[in-house]
Amino acid sequence: MPHHGAKRPPSQAGDAPIPDLHTLLDDLDRTIRADGDWGTPASYIPELARIDPAQFAISVVTADGQLHGAGDVSTRFSVQSITKVFTLAIALGRAGDQLWQRVGREPSGRAFNSIVQLEQEQGRPRNPFINAGAIVTTDEVLCGRAPRDALAEIVQFVRTAAEDDNIHINNAVAASETAHGHRNFALAHFLASYGNLKNPPEMTLGTYFHHCALEMTTAQLAMAGRFLMGAPGGPRLLSTQRIRRLNALMLTCGHYDGSGDFAYRVGIPGKSGVGGGILAIVPGKASIAVWSPGLNLYGNSNKGTQALEIMPKKMNWSIF
């Protein structure tokens, strides 16, 4: 992967010198690969279970628009829940603050696909990033259009954000999840029983499974995340206020019941997916995409989290 003119950022008084990004990413790639414990990919979606776990990639787009990377940066992977960020952006554009009547904004402290809380809270999901919440935002995007058109809108949003039309849905992954997605069917019917779905559950879920099956490389994903950086001169797909709010939700809810741990260890907003990808944002400074298919106990990329714990710290990137 070529590195395009990495610039050496200025060091800050009292901190260790900030390394050149190019060297840092290459070193990081070596460090991550040296420790052979790759973990296990998600097993509940058969198409994802058969992916070789011994893969790692990291891509970074800095505020000046330069793309840097190391590892398997041109391998496409299933972005899964990371698309919930884009779907939420579209749903907010559609429903405005009324969306919050249907879904909350609090960390769940539960697994991504938990059903317990949904019953306790009468069918209003805790936040838009757990599965039940993302089924609601997908339902909002679907309103008034055919699933095909809602999907086209989501894919187009991502392509525009990434400035890349070569981004597609993997239909085999969507079919695999449809065939085995009993939990998500249960969640969708539960939502419907509380009157919190506007479309038939099967239609909303079909749209949800397909947008989760979008495939991207880390380079494409880091590019697609630039609008969340809110850097001057970057793409303007949302208002500043919405960008801040999306980042706040990513920080507090982006890693399911591992969100607090991720905020503590990494210190920047991020959204993970069970495909092993994470999109992380350093406001005003960088959009970072990492990928490694092996997951930790919370269903978030093990090596991806590890890389994000090391890299922003070395760059002195933190929101705190």
252 token code pair: 């507090």
Residue closer to ligand GLU by CB (options 24, 132) is 132
Site for ligand GLU in 120-179 (CB under 6 A): 131, 177
135 sits in which H/E element: helix 131-142
77, 112, 291, 317: residue in contact with ligand GLU (rule CB under 6 A): 112
* Phi, psi of 227, rounded to the nearest 5 degrees: -65, -20
DSSP annotation of 42 reads -
**Position among 59, 137, 184, 220 found at the interface with ligand GLU (CB under 6 A):** 184
Q: Could you give the residue numbers annotated as active site?
A: 81, 84, 208, 256, 274
Q: Give burial (CB, 10 Å; 0-12/13-18/19+) of 154.
A: buried
Q: Quick one: which of 201, 175, 196, 203 has its CA closest to 133?
A: 196
* Residues in Cβ contact with 127 at an 8 Å cutoff, skipping those fewer than 6 apart: 103, 104, 105, 106, 107, 108, 133, 249, 252, 253
Nearer to ligand GLU, 129 or 227 (CB): 129
Length of the chain (residues): 320
Which x/- pattern, by CB under 6 A, does the window 40-79 give for ligand GLU? Answer: ----------------------------------------
> CB under 8 Å to 195, separation ≥6 — which residues?
123
Residue 113 binds ligand GLU (CB under 6 A): yes
Q: Which of residues 269-308 bind ligand GLU (CB under 6 A)?
A: 273-274, 299
Question: Least separation, in Å, of the C-beta of 136 and ligand GLU?
Answer: 13
277 SS3 class:
strand
Can you tell me whether residue 229 is helix, strand or coil? Answer: helix
Shortest reach from residue 55's CB to ligand GLU, in Å: 17
Whole-number minimum distance, CB 172 to ligand GLU, in Å? 14
Q: How far apart are CA 152 and CA 320, in angstroms?
A: 37
Give, as ranges, the residues between 73 and 102 that touch ligand GLU (CB under 6 A): 80-81
Within 193-252, which residues bind ligand GLU (CB under 6 A)? Answer: 212
Cβ 53 to ligand GLU, closest distance in Å? Answer: 16
User: Which residues of this chain interact with ligand GLU, rule CB under 6 A?
Assistant: 80-81, 112-113, 131, 177, 184, 212, 273-274, 299
